[in-house]
Structure 1
Amino acid sequence: MGFIAVIKKYNRSFWTSNTIELFERWAWYGFYLAFPIFLVGSTDTGALGFTNGQKGAIMGTGSALLYFLPVITGSIADKLGYKRILLLAFAIYISGFYMINIFNSYELVYFAFIWICVGGAFFKPIISAMVAKTTNEETASIGFGIFYMMINIGGFIGPFIAGALLKLSWEYVFYMSIAAMGVNVLLTLFLFKEPGREKDDSSLLRNIVLAFKNIWLTLQNWKYVLFLIIMILFWTAFNQLYYSFGIFIDQWIDTTQVYNGLHNVWPWLAETIGENGSINAVSMTSMDSFFIIVFQLMVSAFVMRFRPLAAMMGGILVLSGGLGLMFSTQSGWLILLGVLIFALGEMGSSPKFTEYVGKIAPADQKALYMGTSFLPIAAAHKIAGWLSGDFYEGISDKYFLLHKEVAKRGLQFPAEYSETFTKNDFFSQAAEKMNMSQTELTHYLWQNYHPSNIWMVFSGIAVAAVVFLWLYNRFIVGQK
């Protein structure tokens, strides 16, 4: 059957569900890629001025819950109906984005992000289930391809627009996410059609308990558990794209050359996303999704000839090289090349993870195995939060390293303990006291404290995942 013939077979529920997914990813990634910078940025820019440790705790805990809770929220959606739970999820999202915008204390922002992630956990199981329910053997392959394309289109548009809105104010980023979720409320109310559900007389509590029993049943397979533990390493390294990369660019990288190069080719685009002759960290990070949109079909066609484990190992190895470039240089162009290499590795490995889980699952337990495949992602988010917190700060945070230099020189800043003394104030006054420009001080810290060394940690974790996968394939999968 031809591509056009397959496309014609999809009904309104399929297209509505995919459009909802696009706007949800638009809202989520537009917020999520900017969020770490919002948490740790200097308060005079409208950010919160938290430490990296606080940032890691907030993002790691919330994101882990986002991937763990669907085992419960999926049961709730099956029991109470998809449309009701979608509207509940969007109400939580919208109220959460509003709270993040108005709160400024660590505890309240922590609560607000957890609240948003609960909304995401209600949403996450529904749309993928809708795609499954609205496709069959003939249409499923292209149907899920369209679904993943929608994810990446939303994942690019959201941060791309957020990067432009940051020139105005942080609050416009949150308004954008609220507006995108508002579109989803309208789509759900007027176009979303509740799918048919099998009658289930059991209680909600019983369904939740059964879900946990099924997870426990799946985890009796020690080979599968070992594979999931190894994959925690991969997802931990991968998540540094969200947790650390934006902050690294914001603090250390001069993107003037990238702006000038883009301006020579497409002035309007450079001026839209750029400010003061440079391109901000959110726009730079959004290029990961852009590269996936452009190259996913080619990469998928290339890796389909390899076994899933081999493709995963190759993809993660490529991704580790991308991480190395992303965190080891101050060249904006080399960093963009690193993001491209990272994206190619992501495209080669991430889809194969799902394929491999489906392949090794017993025929009568495929749904159970797919349901537990989120566990390493949840665990990795928690570990990634810790790694990007105090650990990252001690090696690569510009203000932390400046504090070390200031202490070594015995410099005093009487205003440092006042509420109005910002990170930017500290940096500018330190530069004055050291008789340097701020650019010279950044270069001095880069040369003397080597914040780029963090690349060895992030890439090393990804390479460790490859090594353990090779050992797993050689000695565990090969067992008779």
Structure 2
Amino acid sequence: MSGIVKTIKSFPKVFWVSNTMELFERWAWYGFYMAFALYLVGSKDTGALGFTPNEKSIIMSTGTWLLYLLPLFTGAIADRVGYKKVLILSYAMYISGYWMLSTFNSFSLVLASYIYLAVAGALFKPIISAMISKTTTSETSSIGFGIFYMMINIGGFIGPFIAGAIYKKSWDWVFYISMITISINYIFVFFFFKEPGRDESNKKEPLGQVFIQALKNIGVALRNFKYVLFLIIMIAFWTAFNQLYFSFPVFVDDWVDTSNLYNALHAVWPWLAESIGTPEGTITAVTIGSLDAFFIIIFQIWISGLVMRYKPLNAMMSGIFVLAIGVGMMFAFQNSFFVILGILTFSIGEMASSPKFTEYVGSIAPPDKKALYMGTSFLPIAMGYLFAGVVSGDIYDKAAGKLYLLKQEVAKRGLSIPEVSDSFTKNDYWNKAAELMGMSDSELTNFIWINYNPSKIWMLYAGIAVSAVIALFIYDKFILKSKA
């Protein structure tokens, strides 16, 4: 323990400044991102945009794909121009991007705004990771990156937890809080951030040549067939993982009765229940989703200690299998307690597998190509966002979309209800159908749940994760041992 304390005290001030900026950036990002799917598809009379699930998936997958793809190039820009200048630009783009998302309401403008916001994130992302790397040594990097990961999850918990308590009252304030939170980072970058030393050759090399070299570097790493196959397999893992953001908030908002969770919390801690709950006596999907980061904050060290004795591939297979069970539970039940148990299981799988992914890439990389391989490890994450969008769009809608399934019942009964429009919202359609069928809101929800089984979507999402486990098993037993 004394060694850990000594290591923590050895970190320079800029290490803590960088970690603090990461915390506020993640707070701002996840504060809107966990609620973003709901904002895109929610009924217009709630202040949301009322887009179709397919439009939602296009927006979220395209922007987030770029967020993880562009750092390959934006990192080179930061090395060339200077970290402080790029951070100042990134924060300005963040603030204006959050404002644009709160203001625009057409599909094309919202898509453009989110891509713009993703560019802001891509400018920020490689800088802080580089700062942690530059301010740690081979002896202190494990603890340093552990602190960094902790900061990510603290921000990832606080942001959605607050957003979940306010979005039912005002969608605008979800974005305003993100704007305020990211603005705080200007204090750190102007008054406390110290520019690290840079390689002078980076300043002299033409930026275009830097980009070309980055692409060549990717090509060098991707000549390794076994490594490429591993990255392709991991796309399935990230596709399943990202349903936490793409589909889970919508599913909970549509189908899960969280009043029992509210009542249980109110019985123990009335103030907290009333603070984070809704006037209807429920807990929002966004607040529930924030528990993933909360569980990681509590259990990550314990889980890391548990899996450290296993080979990275074995730990990844076990972790992804546990995550598959969790994601299945998250989409299989209407009872909020089972859903939370699913999130806990999901987070345990995440803690066991996600860090091991990075460890494995580092372990198989040739000694002179470790940075090169680490730079390409983001590729399956980026592609995972694209495929997550595919399975959370029309595929999700036809299996579990509340309005889509209701329309099947309306057509079956021959009821006459106007189509959803600017003047006749999704909530108007639902309420009119409930009136014509002689049911309350909860009765109609349960009727659709029982007769159309939207929970069957769990088989797809859990199945994608299980397919990654099976593929990794085959990869480990046959591909790695082959001479090819």
Correspondence list, 1:44-443, <5 A:
44-200=45-201, 201-275=204-278, 276-414=280-418, 416=419, 418-443=421-446
TM-score normalised to the size of structure 2? 0.98
Residue deviations 1:79-138 (CA, integer Å, cap 9, x gap): 000001111111111101000001011110010000000100111100010000011122
Q: Does 1:459 align with 2:466?
A: no
Give 1:418 shift. Answer: 4.8
Q: How far apart, CA to CA, are the structure 2 residues paired with 1:419 and 1:30?
A: 27
Which amino acid is 1:216 matched to? G
* Rounded Cα–Cα distance in structure 1 between residues aligned with 2:319 and 2:139: 28
Structure 1, unmatched stretches of 5+, are: none
CA contact (8 A) 2:237 2:464 kept: yes
AA aligned opposite 2:314 = A
Structure 2: distance between partners of 1:180 and 1:352: 31
Q: Distance in 1 between matches of 2:167 and 2:112?
A: 24
Letter in 1 for 2:367: A
Query: Letter of the aligned partner of 1:93 in structure 2?
Result: Y
Distance 1:121 1:371 in 2: 14
Distance (whole Å) between structure 2 residues aligned to residue 295 and residue 86 of structure 1:
32
CA deviation vs aligned residue, 1:432-477 (integer Å, no higher than 9, x gap): 1011111111001001111000000000000000000000000011
One-letter amino acid of the structure 1 residue matched with residue 381 of structure 2: I
Where does structure 2 lack aligned partners over 5 or more consecutive residues?
A: none
User: 1: distance between equivalents of 2:271 and 2:265?
Assistant: 9
User: Within 2, Cα distance between the matches of 1:419 and 1:38?
Assistant: 16
Is the CA contact (8 Å cut-off) linking 2:325 and 2:342 kept in structure 1? Answer: yes
Deviation above 3 Å: which 4+ runs of structure 1?
none
Amino acid at match of 2:440: S
Give, as a single letter, the amino acid of the residue that structure 2 aligns with 1:357: V
Q: Does 1:33 align with 2:34?
A: yes
Structure 1 residue 478: deviation in Å?
1.9
How far the C-alpha of 1:479 sits from its partner, in A, is 2.5
2-structure distance, mates of 1:405, 1:208: 54
The 3 A distance-change label for structure 1 pair 474 and 418 is closer
Q: Which residue of structure 1 lines up, in the alignment, with residue 452 of structure 2?
A: 449
Provide, for residues 179-211 of structure 1, a one-character-per-residue CA deviation record: whole Å limited to 9, x for no partner: 111001221111111000010121111111101
TM-score in terms of structure 1 length: 0.99
8 Å Cα contact 2:420-2:426 kept in structure 1:
no
Per-residue CA distance 1:55-101 (angstroms, 9 max, x = gap):
00000000100000111101100000000111111111110100000
Q: How many residues align?
A: 479
Distance 1:410 1:185 in 2: 59
Q: Which AA in structure 2 matches 1:389?
A: G
Q: 1:457–1:418: structure 2 CA closer, same or farther, 3 Å change rule?
A: closer
Letter in 2 for 1:113: Y
Identity of aligned residues (%): 59
Structure 2 counterpart of 1:9, one-letter code? S
